[in-house]
Amino acid sequence: MHYKEACFERNEKIDLFNNEETFEEKVRQYLGRKDITAQEFEPKRKYIVSQCEETKPKKIYEKRSIVK
C-alpha cells in the first residue's frame, strides 16, 4: 500500500469516527467489526472494548404460554 492510499484510508476512518453518534458505534466503525461492545473509560479518549460471544441455544421453545 502506498503512502497516499494509507493516509487516505486512515483519514476516512477518522472522519467516520467523528461523524458517528455514540461512542460504541464509533469504535465498531473504526475497527470495522460488528461483534464488539465498548464502554467509555475516559470521555472521548479511552474505551474498554469487549468481543461479544455468539451463543447457540440448546433448545428452542415455540408456541408456549405461561399460566399463572
Q: Could you read off the pLDDT of 21-40 as tens digits, one per residue?
A: 777 887 887 788 888 888 88
Q: What is the mean pLDDT of the chain?
A: 80
Nearest CA among 45, 9, 11 for reference residue 27 = 45
Grid cell at residue 59: 433448545
Confidence at residue 20, expressed as pLDDT on a 0 to 100 scale? 61
Confidence at residue 52, expressed as pLDDT on a 0 to 100 scale? 86
